[in-house]
Structure 1
Amino acid sequence: MKNQTKHSLLCLLLLIYVWLPARAQDSTPKHQSKTEVIKAVVEKYCQDHPFSGAVLVAQNRQLVWKGAKGYANKAAEQKNLINTKFLVGSVSKQFTAMIVLQLVQEGKLKLNDLAIKYFPFLPKEKSTITIHQLLSHTSGLGHYSQLKVKYKKFMYKPTTPVEYAKVIAKMGMVAKPGKKMSYSSMGYILLAAIAEQITGKTFSTLLEERIARPLGLKNTGFTLNTDELQNFALSYDLKKQKAATDNDFRFKLNKPRHQSNTYSTGGVHSTVEDMLVWLKALATNKLLNKELTKKMFTPNLSNYAYGWFINDVRLTKAYKLTNIISHGGSVNGFRAAVSMFNNQQDFVIILGNQPSRIWLLTAEIKKALDRKE
């Protein structure tokens, strides 16, 4: 009897020994999915930074997470949504580059064609500028500060592409054509104006017919009057210029530049979902043949390709990002950061309507994507 009792007690202890670890294992939190991890990264960022906008993340070209924060209209308490439209600033350049390269593919334009062929009023120092140089920021043209106009007045006035080209004709040069990379939005103004001359169509129509409609982009385009757009965000800027360093993140409503001024270099509007479709199309040659697509992503001087930075040194150095194809955008308070990683398999798209450190957010998201589940 004693032996039987002893045996029963030993069995009970053994069961308790086996049951306790299993019980402990059941009580631990389940492993977070990649979607939950990315969402947590964005939430943490928004606790520390005044982000307002939308974010979309894809891995292996499949959606991982998308979400929106902040307000499209603060006064009306209208929140940003996934389908909120934002100006993408200089991300517009990649759309302009695509239109130009399509014209090259069709034999209507050559990369070594001279800009003066279309603008005979260009002076001697600009007479050798080529289409390639305009696309790659190696034309020697300066940026906005080199324009010989009262810029604070000029940016709010309507202008035609040809009138804009005549202003550019008079601007200062920062280098001889082809000698160095010097970022110039003016080059992309000229590119769209050339495309308009060749086709007889406006930049807005070219964007719609050649990119938006073929890809089914319902919320991407260019318009002179953003007030007519549905679900379009207002933009906000810092009340104090030094706010970015002293953490005084109070914002004021922006007075927008005239859209004829932002034009092909900064005036395109889009949503994060449309941008995902656009990036997938670039990665799969839907709009351009393989040869010219390769050229679009081939770095020239200072790693600028055509409408894209390849391993932008500012990002590789400050944020330790590697193997990145990217471009940022900034127009008034609108901000954009569009990135492709892992041979155009992974995408991080951030569009916003007030200043924030969105490249830092890009880096944090990329780290999270790289973690093994």
Structure 2
Amino acid sequence: MQARLLLEDGTLFTGKSFGSETEKTGEVVFNTGITGYQEVLSDPSYCGQIVTMTFPLIGNYGITRDDFESVAPSIHGFVVRRYEPVPSNWRAQYSVGDLLKEYEIPGISEIDTRMLTRILRQHGTMKGIITTSNKSVAELTEMIQATSITALRNQVAHTSTNHIYSSPGAKERIVLVDFGAKSGILRELTKRGCDVVVVPHDTTADEIRQLHPDGIQLSNGPGDPKDVPYAVDMIKELMGEYPIFGICLGHQLFALACGADTESLKFGHRGGNHPVKELESGRCFITSQNHGYTVNEDSIVGTPLEVTHINNNDKTIEGLKHTKYPVFSVQYHPEAAPGPYDNSYLFDRFLDMIRTHKQDHPQQPRQALIMAASKGAR
């Protein structure tokens, strides 16, 4: 079946459908990863986006549920040069096309993804629509124009959990604030024996305090960090009380909480091959990234923030730390494995920070606090 991709600038691509026979609008972006397409499909940070893979052959190793980063995909469309319907991999459970059909996501293949990527690099990300219908270009253009930018934002509530749940462990208790968290973050924490409590995106500071955490993990998530001001307030209130580690959107929210500013990138960073330099060691790490916003470098001046990592391609900020409190963050995804595991040391650094903070700030046993509170109530 024929499928079409129309951009808001009027550019039309005609190819073959390999997903659901439907139509969806979204923000058209591109990902430069050679592998990892099913992690891309299941990454909550792609919520509301039509993702173009720059690598030409997609689908050759199929889909394996064990490698998902979320329960269900949140993307609005998938664009590839060539789709392989018959995967060759002993772990494969079904094909990419089957996955797209299951979740009613349109897919289009046999188009010039190089041309599409060049358009996005030159003009920036833009709205678009994928369709398998016979609607005219004029009708599709009206649909794109009727889709406001606001409709493509505020995606955190859609991807976050709605209730608190836990992954028990015997070591440090970590409250993971879910703004659209990838499963890999929870996996890295539980692998280290942490007692993880996952909470919704709008959990307040007082509600987090009631969970008695040793540290707080701010997850990744989709969209503009300024769309979740309540999370900024929560971080402001808890900084200094608990060690905090922010990833991707969590990194941007931490920066906003410290008085810095964020801005939109022209076409974002999406892929598994982005070089990042750690300033302290001078070492370069190959990182996995997925974001359309960045922390403005000039806005760091006058804040209690210090830049720890930079992007070797465009010199944008990739890591920050607080100069007074035990808080740090990175823009990329240390739970992903493009290096393959070069960046997982950041989770160890987070736990070391928690242990140091507990030594420097010893607390009374909880039973003693309960007894003191009961005496005060008499």
Shorter chain as denominator, the TM-score bin is under 0.3
Q: TM (normalized to structure 2)?
A: 0.23
Name the structure where helix makes up a greater proportion of residues: 1
Q: TM (normalized to structure 1)?
A: 0.23
Name the structure where strand makes up a greater proportion of residues: 2
Tell me which structure has the larger Cα radius of gyration.
Answer: 1
